[in-house]
C-alpha cells in the first residue's frame, strides 16, 4: 500500500505513514481548524492498511508536542483502531514521546494507554529542544 | 480628546495586568495569529516550553469555545467556510500567574447545562479531572457538541487553580458568559 506523507503546517502535524515498512509517525502539533477534514484521510488510509491480510508488525511513533481536545478525540480513534487490529493478532507497538518536564504530555500518554491490552505501549522521554 | 479616551482604555487594561485583549469577531485565523503572538511573547520572556504549551492549550480551548458556541455569529462561505463569532479574549498576569478570560454571549436556554458542567468541573481535584478526562475521551460525542465537554476538562486540567465562571443575563434571551482560568 502506498505511503501517506503530509508535511507539517502551522496547525497540523507531519504525517509519515510508511505502510510498506509498517512504520507510522505523527510529529509536531495538532490543532487543525477542521479536525474532520484533516483526520478523515488519515483514518481512511489506516483503516485500509489494517484490513490487509497477513500484514507485518506495525510501529507507531507518537511524537506530537501539543494537540487540542478535538485532536485528542481523533487520536483516540486511531488508538482504538490499532487496539482492535492488535486484538486480532497483528503485532503493534506504540511509542509515546514527551519532552522532559512536560508532565501534561506524559500524563496524556498514560490517559491514552489506560485501556490498551494488545498494543505494546511505551512512554519515552526525549530531551527538550528549547523551542516551544 | 481622542488620545485621552484611548489612553484611558489602555491604562485600564495595563492596570489589570492585561497583556493581550481582543474584542470583536473571532475566527480560526485570529486564533492562530493571536496564539503565535502569545507564544512568541512568552518564549522571549524565557518561559519554559511546558508552561508555554499549557497556557497555549487553555488559550486554544477557550478561543474554540467562543468560535463554536457564541450566540452571535456570522457564517458563510467564500473560498472556504468561514465562521466569525463575537466574543472577547483577555490574557494577563496576576500574582505571578498567567490568566485567560474569555467572554461571549450564549442563549439563555443553554445556560443551565453549561452552568452544571462548569460547577461539576470546578469541584473536581486533579485526580478526579484525570478520571473524568479519560472517560470523556472514550465517549462518543453528543449530537452537535463538537467536543466541548473534553475542551472544558482540558481547561480545568491545565489550570493551577479551580476555574471561575459567571453569567450576566442580557435582555434579548441571551446571557454574557465569562470563564477565567489561571495557569
Provide the residue ranges of all domains of chain A, joining segments of one domain with +: 4-126
pLDDT in tens, A19-76: 999 999 999 999 998 899 999 999 999 999 999 877 789 999 999 999 999 999 999 9
| pLDDT tens track, chain B, 183 positions | 999 999 999 999 999 999 889 999 999 999 999 999 999 999 998 888 888 999 999 999 999 999 988 999 888 877 777 788 999 999 999 988 999 999 999 999 999 999 999 999 999 999 999 999 999 998 876 555 555 579 999 999 999 999 999 999 998 899 999 999 999
Q: Using CA atoms, how far apart are residues B145 and B71, in angstroms rounded to an integer?
A: 14
Ranges of beta strands (E only) in A22-131 are 23-30, 58-67, 92-99, 120-126
CATH number at residue B176: 3.30.565.10
Query: What is this structure's pTM?
Result: 0.92
Q: Using CA atoms, how far apart are residues A64 and B53, in angstroms rounded to an integer?
A: 12
Q: What angle do CA A30, A6, A33 make, to 5 degrees?
A: 35
From the list A35, A68, A107, the residue facing B61 with the nearest CB is: A68
Are A86 and A57 a contacting pair, CB within 8 Å?
A: no
Count how many residues are written for chain B: 183
Q: Who's near B23: CB < 8 A, 6+ residues apart?
A: B87, B88
Q: Would an 8 Å CB–CB cutoff place A69 in contact with chain B?
A: yes
Q: What is the DSSP string of B76-113?
A: EESSSEEEEEEEEEEEEEETTEEEEEEEEEEEGGGHHH
Q: Using CA atoms, how far apart are residues B26 and A59, in angstroms rounded to an integer?
A: 40
What residues pair up with B179 in beta bridges, in sequence order?
A: B102, B165
Chain B: residue whose CA lies nearest to A105: B50
The verdict on a CB contact (< 8 Å) between A99 and B49 is: yes
What ipTM did this prediction achieve? Answer: 0.91
Q: Is B15 exposed, middle or buried (0-12, 13-18, 19+ CB in 10 A)?
A: exposed
**In chain B, how many domains are there?**
1
Interhelix angle B148-158/B49-69, rounded to 10 degrees, is 150
In a domain, B144, yes or no: yes
In a domain, B10, yes or no: no
> Comparing C-alpha atoms, which of B101, B78, B36 is closest to residue A9?
B36
**Alpha-carbon distance values, A66 to A99, B162, B168, B181 (Å):** 11, 23, 34, 19
Domain range A4-126, CATH architecture:
2-Layer Sandwich (3.30)
Residues of A in Cβ contact (< 8 Å) with B57: 66, 68, 104
| Greatest distance between any 2 Cα atoms in chain B | 57
Chain A: residue whose CA lies nearest to B147: A70
The verdict on a CB contact (< 8 Å) between B50 and A102 is: yes
Residues of A in Cβ contact (< 8 Å) with B48: 101
Mutate to test the interface with B, among A12, A67, A69, A73 (most CBs of B within 10 A): A69
Place of cell 480551548: B61
Chain B: residue whose CA lies nearest to A99: B50
Q: Would an 8 Å CB–CB cutoff place A37 in contact with chain B?
A: no
> At CB < 8 A and 24+ separation, what contacts does A78-84 make?
A78/A42, A78/A43, A78/A46, A79/A112, A79/A116, A79/A119, A81/A43, A81/A46, A81/A47, A81/A50, A82/A50, A82/A58, A82/A119, A83/A115, A83/A116, A83/A117, A83/A118, A83/A119, A84/A50
Q: Which pLDDT does position A132 carry in this prediction?
A: 44
Q: Calculate mean pLDDT across residues A1-9.
A: 94
- Please name the residues between 137 and 166 in chain B that touch chain A, using a CB distance below 8 Å: 137-138, 141, 146-147, 150-151, 153-154, 157-158
Residue B73, domain extent: 18-182
The verdict on a CB contact (< 8 Å) between A102 and B134 is: no
Q: Would an 8 Å CB–CB cutoff place B59 in contact with chain A?
A: no
In a domain, B33, yes or no: yes
In a domain, B116, yes or no: yes
Residues of A in Cβ contact (< 8 Å) with B133: 111
**Alpha-carbon distance values, B131 to A18, A96, B121, B147 (Å):** 34, 20, 12, 17
Number of CB pairs, chain A paired with chain B, less than 8 A apart: 74
The verdict on a CB contact (< 8 Å) between B134 and A114 is: yes
Q: Who's near A80: CB < 8 A, 6+ residues apart?
A: none
Q: Using CA atoms, how far apart are residues A31 and B147, in angstroms rounded to an integer?
A: 13
The secondary structure element, H or E, covering residue B177 is strand B174-182
Q: What is the DSSP string of A107-118?
A: HHHHHHHTT-SS
Q: Using CA atoms, how far apart are residues A131 and B88, in angstroms rounded to an integer?
A: 29
Amino acid at each position: 500500500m502506498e505511503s501517506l506523507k503530509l508535511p507539517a503546517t502551522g496547525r497540523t502535524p507531519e504525517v509519515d505513514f510508511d505502510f510498506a515498512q509498517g512504520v507510522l509517525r505523527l510529529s509536531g502539533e495538532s490543532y487543525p481548524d477542521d479536525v474532520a477534514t484533516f483526520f478523515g484521510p488519515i483514518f481512511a488510509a489506516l483503516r485500509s492498511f489494517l484490513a490487509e491480510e497477513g500484514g507485518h508488525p506495525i510501529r507507531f511513533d507518537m511524537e506530537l508536542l501539543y494537540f487540542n481536545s478535538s485532536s485528542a478525540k481523533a487520536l483516540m480513534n486511531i488508538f482504538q483502531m490499532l487496539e482492535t487490529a492488535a486484538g486480532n493478532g497483528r503485532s503493534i507497538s506504540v511509542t509515546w514521546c514527551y519532552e522532559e518536564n512536560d508532565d501534561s504530555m506524559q500524563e496524556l500518554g498514560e490517559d491514552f494507554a489506560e485501556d490498551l491490552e494488545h498494543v505494546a505501549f511505551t512512554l519515552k522521554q526525549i530531551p527538550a529542544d528549547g523551542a516551544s | 480628546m481622542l488620545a485621552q479616551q484611548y489612553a484611558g482604555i489602555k491604562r485600564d487594561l495595563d492596570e489589570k495586568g492585561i497583556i493581550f485583549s481582543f474584542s470583536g469577531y473571532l475566527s480560526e485565523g485570529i486564533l492562530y495569529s493571536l496564539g503565535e503572538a502569545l507564544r512568541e511573547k512568552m518564549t522571549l520572556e524565557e518561559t519554559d516550553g511546558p508552561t508555554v504549551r499549557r497556557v497555549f492549550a487553555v488559550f486554544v480551548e477557550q478561543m474554540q469555545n467562543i468560535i463554536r458556541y457564541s450566540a452571535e455569529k456570522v457564517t458563510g462561505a467564500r473560498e472556504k467556510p468561514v465562521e466569525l463569532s463575537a466574543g472577547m479574549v483577555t490574557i494577563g498576569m496576576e500574582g505571578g500567574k498567567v490568566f485567560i478570560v474569555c467572554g461571549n454571549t450564549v442563549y439563555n436556554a443553554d445556560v443551565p447545562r453549561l452552568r452544571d458542567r462548569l460547577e461539576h468541573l470546578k469541584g473536581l481535584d486533579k485526580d478526579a479531572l484525570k478520571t473524568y478526562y479519560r472517560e470523556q475521551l472514550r465517549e462518543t460525542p453528543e449530537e452537535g457538541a463538537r467536543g466541548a465537554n473534553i475542551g472544558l476538562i482540558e481547561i480545568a486540567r491545565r489550570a493551577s487553580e479551580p476555574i471561575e465562571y459567571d453569567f450576566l443575563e442580557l435582555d434579548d434571551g441571551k446571557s454574557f458568559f465569562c470563564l477565567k482560568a489561571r495557569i
